[in-house]
Structure formats: structure tokens, C-alpha cells
């Protein structure tokens, strides 16, 4: 027994040492105080940052995770809590619904809504937040409304926002209440940075609501609105008779909403499985995504389109197939052999269940597409005890490899890289899974929770699952502008006493990122500074 104890102490010491040796020297980490909070409490979003620190929203959920309360928290530059105020959204004795908080030109703005049952109107309000008191500094100002006459208040539309690249314009986009069989309707209000309305437009499209989805929307520096729509041909089905049954369409509202230009984005015989749009500083629309030969659940390659903002014409198109070597990356030798056999027979071999997360515009005019494999498995286990059979359903949340596609300033697809990652957790909605991304100069940094056995993974053989345990390792993958990747350890979950929550971590300056982690009742912020 004593022998085992000595051995295990020795081994764990060795383990710590080995991680200690490979810990990244490309970053410095400033840890905040460890906070003890309720297990039901978590970070919802980092909503702002300035020279005094960061501002974050924390939620504490009630029974069954519902009926949550919101707290606005200010953390100082040492990442320690400086002030926390519970948000009580009341105006004239009426409770308002929290929508979001956003930062614009160093000011924090609080958005709230009120569904007026008497008038059948859903109103959106904005008010500034005093950064010292963390309380609203002025009265709510109404900036948008949705009429839901004839509908239940539970179907009263939703408000969304988008900020232009230079933060000079704010788009409030809203869905009108769903009405099956009716034509798709939505509206947008475009504001300047002081929330003075510049123009407003309500649109009725010639497509039925159930056959049209808004996938993405953008506002340019000069106040033009771009909307990416997915249009189904007849039925809401992605595939009919082996052919795509949908198409993407970009709608451009310019000239204060007076002019509409439509850009259908279609490739004959190919399924465009994902698409995102962005507006570059020249006001061109950059549009990228993945395509498939066989359906909408798999991808075979990536594509890129550039629409000239002035002439409104497609100025550049590019497609690139991933190729069998890329597809078989990070596969076990058995999976690889199977895929290669299939490809040799002339069958389509594709990557499955990838979602396009982001399109990042680089300063040199190029762009980067980032996607991740994500799917959910349902596992039913049955157990018979004393003749009584019970069954239990578990949902396994899988967040796997990350794909990065690099587009040159000329619009060509330069390289495509896959970052190996396996995250598989059950019944937690992937709370500690996925990744956070920082763009520092011409490099991309991905941070995520990983299994320590993957630290020296070279792209071949078995990858081990991160399963949310305390022995996990928080890693950083650096991807340079040539597509070379290096994987390094940041810290272990054991030493920090937390697991990071990559989905809420955020880049706060060109060289800094805030990471947040929690485990049981321990909560902690850290600031990662990229030294390169």
C-alpha cells in the first residue's frame, strides 16, 4: 500500500512537471481571485471593457434552471470583482424584460423590452448604464416596436442587434410574429452611435414564413443593411430527388432602405451547407461557407464570394475541395483506411456535421472561415432489476475538430487546416466544450479544454475525449498565416481549480483575452496576454 502511495505521488509529480515544461511561453496569465458562488450561478456574457477592467453579466437560475436573476459585475484589471449590482428592470412600476447589454464607444447600453397586452405592441427600450454605479443612468428610450395584434403575447416577435465594423451604426433587426402561411415579414431600424434613428424599414418578402429563414444580418459603416436568407423551394426540406431544395439569397437594403438588391447564391448541383456574410472596410460583401455533393449534413469543400459594394456585382468566386488527405486527418488508421477505400471506388467521402461559426476579416483584406464539428447523440440505456425494466436517456454533446479556411486578399482559398479536438460530455449542453478564438496580428489562437493525453498529438491515430473531468488540460493552439499549428498547454484544471467555459471567453483588446472558468462553487476570471 505504501509502495503504491509513493509511486502515485511520484507519478503525479512527474505529470505536473511534464506539463510544467510544455506550458506556453507565448502568453502570460493573470489570475483573478477565486470566487465562491452558487452552483446555479454562471457567467452569461462579457459585455464590455475599458481601462478600468471588464463588465460581465452573471445569471443565477432558479429551480429547473428557469426564472433566472441577472447581475452586472465590474471586474478590475486584477480580474477581481470590484462591484456587482443585481439588475432590476423596472419602469413606472412595470417589469421589463432584459434583452442585452452592449458597449458602444466606451458606453454601456442596456436594452429591455415590454409587451403591452392592451396595445398588443412589443416595445424595445435603450438606456445608458452608469459605469460607477452599474445602474441605469437615464430613463428608458423607446427605439423599436413590433405590432402583434391578433397574436398571443408569446408570439410577439424578437429583437436582435448588430453593430457596424467602425461602431458608427447600430442595426436593430426584428422578426414580426410567426404566422404560418403568411409571407415572411421583418423590420429593421438603423441608428447612429447615439441611438438617433437614421432610417426604418418593414419588409414583406414574396416567400412564405415557413419557407424562409434569416441566417445572418450585417450593417455596414454607411448604414446599409445586408441580410442572408435561406429560401426553401416548395417544402421545408433540404433535399428533394437528390438535388438541393433550397438556395441562399443576400438582400442588400441601401439608400436609407429605399433600394433593394438581391444576390442569389447558388451552385448548380451542390448543396451549400453553411454560409456567413461580413462587410469589409471597402463595403464589399464577403461571403463564405461550405458545400457538399450529397446533402446538407456533410461538407466536401469550401467556397468564397465577394460582392462589390459599389457595382453590386459578384467580383470574385472561389471553390476548393478538401481532398482525401484533409478529410482523413485525425482519423484512426481503421477509419482512414475505410475512407480511402471508399474514395478509390469513386464514392463521395465528406466530413460530417460541421457548422460554420464565424467569418473573420483580416486587415490585409483576406478572410478566415472557422467551423467546428458538432452533433448530439441520444443514448438509451435499459436496466432490468427484479423483473422491472427501467430506461434512461442520455444526450451526448460532441464538439470535435475545428476547421480553418484561409482566404487570401485576392479571394483565393490558400489553405485549409484541421485542429484536432475531441470533446464529449453528457447531459450538459456542452457547458465546458467548444473553443474560444483570439485574432492577434496575423495569428489565430484557439483555447479549449482537452484531454492531457492529446497534448503531443501529431495528427494520426486515436484522439482522447475531453469528458469534463478535473484532470483536464486547458490548451492553446496557435495557427500562423501559413497554416502551421502548434499546440501548447496553458494550465491544468486541477491547478486553477476550474474548467474554462470557452463559449463565454472573449478577446478584449488586440493582444488580450478574458477567460472564465468554474467548477462546482469555484468561479474565476483570468486575463491572457499574448506576448508574440
Partner 1 sequence: MKKLIIISIWLLPLCNLFAQTNGSSENSYFLDDGGISNSKNLLKVNVLSIVNGDLPFYYERVLSKSFSVEIGAGILLPYYLPELPRLITNNENEIVDPAGGYSLWIQPKYYIQGKSPELRYFGLQFRKRNYNLKNGVIITYDLSFITGTQLIFAKRMALDLSIGLGIHSTNKNETDIFRFNNYLTIPVAIKLGYLF
Contacts to partner 1 from residues 353-372, by CB under 8 A: none
Contacts to partner 1 from residues 73-102, by CB under 8 A: 91-95
Rank residues 150 and 242 by Cβ distance to partner 1 and give the closer one: 150
Rank residues 78 and 120 by Cβ distance to partner 1 and give the closer one: 120
Rank residues 154 and 456 by Cβ distance to partner 1 and give the closer one: 154
Q: Which of 63, 378, 380, 388 binds partner 1 (CB under 8 A)?
A: 63
Rank residues 92 and 386 by Cβ distance to partner 1 and give the closer one: 92
Q: How far is the CB of 176 from partner 1 (least distance, A)?
A: 18
Q: How far is the CB of 475 from partner 1 (least distance, A)?
A: 38
Rank residues 140 and 502 by Cβ distance to partner 1 and give the closer one: 140
- Please give the angle made by the CA atoms of 70, 110 and 162, to the nearest 5 degrees: 115
CB 508 within 8 A of CB 526: no
Rank residues 3 and 118 by Cβ distance to partner 1 and give the closer one: 118
Residues in contact with partner 1, counted by CB under 8 A, come to a total of: 25
Q: Which of 20, 62, 409, 510 binds partner 1 (CB under 8 A)?
A: 62
* Three-state DSSP class for residue 436: strand
**Dihedral Cα 442, 448, 452, 454, nearest 10 deg:** -60
Rank residues 118 and 310 by Cβ distance to partner 1 and give the closer one: 118
Q: How far apart are CA 272 and CA 264, in angstroms?
A: 12
Q: How far is the CB of 257 from partner 1 (least distance, A)?
A: 24
Q: How far is the CB of 80 from partner 1 (least distance, A)?
A: 31
Q: How far is the CB of 150 from partner 1 (least distance, A)?
A: 10
Q: How far apart are CA 456 and CA 489, in angstroms?
A: 10
Q: How far apart are CA 405 and CA 416, in angstroms?
A: 4
Q: How far apart are CA 516 and CA 532, in angstroms?
A: 22
Rank residues 123 and 263 by Cβ distance to partner 1 and give the closer one: 123
Residue 51 CB partners (closer than 8 Å, separation 6+): none
Binding mask 105-124 for partner 1 (x = CB under 8 A): ---------xxxxxx-x-x-
Q: How far apart are CA 155 and CA 177, in angstroms?
A: 5
Residue 272 CB partners (closer than 8 Å, separation 6+): 244, 247, 248, 265, 266, 289, 290, 291, 303
Rank residues 94 and 268 by Cβ distance to partner 1 and give the closer one: 94
Grid coordinates belonging to 518: 468554474
Contacts to partner 1 from residues 396-425, by CB under 8 A: none
Phi and psi dihedrals of 97, rounded to 5? -90, 135
502 HSE (CA, 13 A, CB side): 22
Rank residues 33 and 138 by Cβ distance to partner 1 and give the closer one: 138
Q: How far apart are CA 125 and CA 253, in angstroms?
A: 24
Q: Which of 64, 325, 385, 456 binds partner 1 (CB under 8 A)?
A: 64
Binding mask 457-496 for partner 1 (x = CB under 8 A): ----------------------------------------
Stretch that binds partner 1, among 64-72, 243-251, 260-268, 292-300 (CB under 8 A): 64-72
Stretch that binds partner 1, among 149-157, 185-193, 310-318, 421-429 (CB under 8 A): 149-157
Q: Is the four-CA dihedral 417, 477, 12, 10 of positive or negative sign?
A: positive
Contacts to partner 1 from residues 225-284, by CB under 8 A: none
Q: How far apart are CA 290 and CA 319, in angstroms?
A: 9
CB 522 within 8 A of CB 497: yes
* Three-state DSSP class for residue 495: helix
* 456: contact with partner 1 by CB under 8 A: no
Rank residues 121 and 208 by Cβ distance to partner 1 and give the closer one: 121
Grid coordinates belonging to 468: 469534463
Q: How far is the CB of 344 from partner 1 (least distance, A)?
A: 54
DSSP state letters, 59-106:
EE--GGG-S-EEEEEEE-TTS-EEEEEE---EETTEEPEEEEEEEETT
524 pairs with which residues across the strands?
A: 517
The CA-atom distances, in angstroms, between 401 and each of 227, 413, 421, 422, 429 are 29, 20, 5, 7, 17
Q: Which of 4, 5, 21, 67 binds partner 1 (CB under 8 A)?
A: 67
CB 286 within 8 A of CB 367: yes
Rank residues 91 and 324 by Cβ distance to partner 1 and give the closer one: 91
Q: Which of 377, 391, 465 is nearest to 427 (CA)?
A: 377
Residue 345 DSSP symbol: T
- Please give the angle made by the CA atoms of 388, 390 and 395, to the nearest 5 degrees: 170
Stretch that binds partner 1, among 63-71, 184-192, 202-210, 242-250 (CB under 8 A): 63-71
Q: How far is the CB of 414 from partner 1 (least distance, A)?
A: 48
Rank residues 140 and 309 by Cβ distance to partner 1 and give the closer one: 140
Contacts to partner 1 from residues 126-145, by CB under 8 A: 139-140, 142
Q: How far is the CB of 142 from partner 1 (least distance, A)?
A: 5
Q: Which of 1, 152, 380, 388 binds partner 1 (CB under 8 A)?
A: 152
Question: Cell 450585417 sits at which residue?
Answer: 218
Q: Which of 5, 66, 378, 380 binds partner 1 (CB under 8 A)?
A: 66
Binding site for partner 1 (CB under 8 A): 62-64, 66-67, 91-95, 114-119, 121, 123, 125, 139-140, 142, 152-154
Amino acid at each position: 500500500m505504501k509502495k503504491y502511495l509513493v509511486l502515485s505521488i511520484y507519478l503525479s509529480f512527474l505529470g505536473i512537471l511534464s506539463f510544467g515544461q510544455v506550458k506556453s511561453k507565448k502568453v502570460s496569465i493573470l489570475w483573478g481571485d477565486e470566487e465562491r458562488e452558487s452552483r446555479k450561478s454562471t457567467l452569461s456574457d462579457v459585455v464590455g471593457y475599458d481601462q478600468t477592467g471588464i463588465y460581465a453579466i452573471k445569471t443565477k437560475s432558479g429551480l429547473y434552471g428557469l426564472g433566472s436573476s441577472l447581475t452586472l459585475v465590474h471586474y478590475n484589471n486584477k480580474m477581481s470583482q470590484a462591484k456587482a449590482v443585481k439588475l432590476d428592470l423596472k419602469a413606472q412600476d412595470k417589469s421589463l424584460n432584459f434583452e442585452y447589454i452592449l458597449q458602444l464607444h466606451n458606453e454601456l447600453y442596456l436594452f429591455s423590452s415590454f409587451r403591452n397586452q392592451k396595445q398588443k405592441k412589443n416595445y424595445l427600450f435603450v438606456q445608458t448604464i452608469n459605469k460607477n454605479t452599474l445602474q441605469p443612468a437615464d430613463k428608458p428610450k423607446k427605439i423599436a416596436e413590433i405590432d402583434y395584434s391578433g397574436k398571443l403575447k408569446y408570439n410577439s416577435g424578437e429583437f436582435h442587434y448588430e453593430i457596424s465594423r467602425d461602431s458608427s451604426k447600430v442595426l436593430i433587426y426584428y422578426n414580426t410574429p410567426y404566422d404560418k402561411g403568411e409571407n415572411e415579414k421583418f423590420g429593421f431600424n438603423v441608428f447612429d452611435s447615439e441611438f438617433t434613428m437614421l432610417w426604418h424599414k418593414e419588409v414583406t418578402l414574396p416567400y412564405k414564413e415557413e419557407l424562409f429563414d434569416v441566417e445572418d444580418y450585417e450593417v455596414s459603416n454607411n448604414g446599409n443593411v445586408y441580410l442572408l436568407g435561406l429560401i426553401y423551394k416548395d417544402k421545408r426540406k433540404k433535399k428533394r430527388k437528390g438535388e438541393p431544395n433550397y438556395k441562399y439569397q443576400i438582400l442588400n437594403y441601401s439608400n436609407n432602405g429605399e433600394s433593394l438588391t438581391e444576390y442569389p447564391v447558388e451552385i448548380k448541383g451542390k448543396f451549400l451547407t453553411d454560409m456567413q456574410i461580413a462587410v469589409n472596410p471597402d463595403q464589399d460583401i464577403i461571403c463564405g461557407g461550405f458545400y457538399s455533393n450529397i446533402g446538407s449534413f456533410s461538407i466536401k469543400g469550401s467556397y468564397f464570394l465577394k460582392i462589390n459594394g459599389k457595382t453590386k456585382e459578384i467580383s470574385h468566386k472561389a471553390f476548393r475541395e478538401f481532398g482525401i488527405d484533409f478529410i482523413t486527418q485525425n482519423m484512426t488508421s481503421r477509419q482512414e483506411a475505410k475512407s480511402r477505400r471508399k474514395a478509390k471506388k469513386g464514392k463521395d467521402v465528406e466530413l460530417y456535421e460541421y457548422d460554420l461559426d464565424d467569418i473573420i476579416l483580416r486587415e490585409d483584406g483576406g478572410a478566415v472561415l472557422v467551423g467546428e464539428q458538432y452533433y448530439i447523440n441520444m443514448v438509451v440505456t435499459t436496466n432490468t432489476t427484479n423483473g422491472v425494466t427501467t430506461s434512461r436517456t442520455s444526450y451526448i454533446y460532441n464538439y470535435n475538430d475545428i476547421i480553418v479556411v484561409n482566404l487570401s486578399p485576392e479571394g483565393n482559398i490558400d489553405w485549409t487546416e484541421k485542429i484536432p479536438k475531441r470533446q464529449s460530455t453528457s447531459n450538459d449542453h456542452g457547458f465546458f466544450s467548444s473553443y474560444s478564438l483570439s485574432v492577434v496580428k496575423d495569428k489565430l489562437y484557439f483555447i479549449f479544454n482537452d484531454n492531457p493525453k492529446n497534448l503531443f498529438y501529431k495528427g494520426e491515430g486515436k484522439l482522447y475525449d475531453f469528458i469534463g473531468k478535473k484532470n483536464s488540460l486547458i490548451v492553446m493552439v496557435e495557427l500562423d498565416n501559413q497554416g502551421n499549428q502548434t499546440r501548447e498547454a496553458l494550465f491544468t484544471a486541477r491547478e486553477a481549480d476550474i474548467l474554462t467555459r470557452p463559449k463565454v471567453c472573449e478577446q478584449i483588446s488586440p493582444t488580450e483575452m478574458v477567460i472564465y472558468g468554474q467548477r462546482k462553487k469555484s468561479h474565476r476570471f483570468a486575463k491572457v496576454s499574448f506576448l508574440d
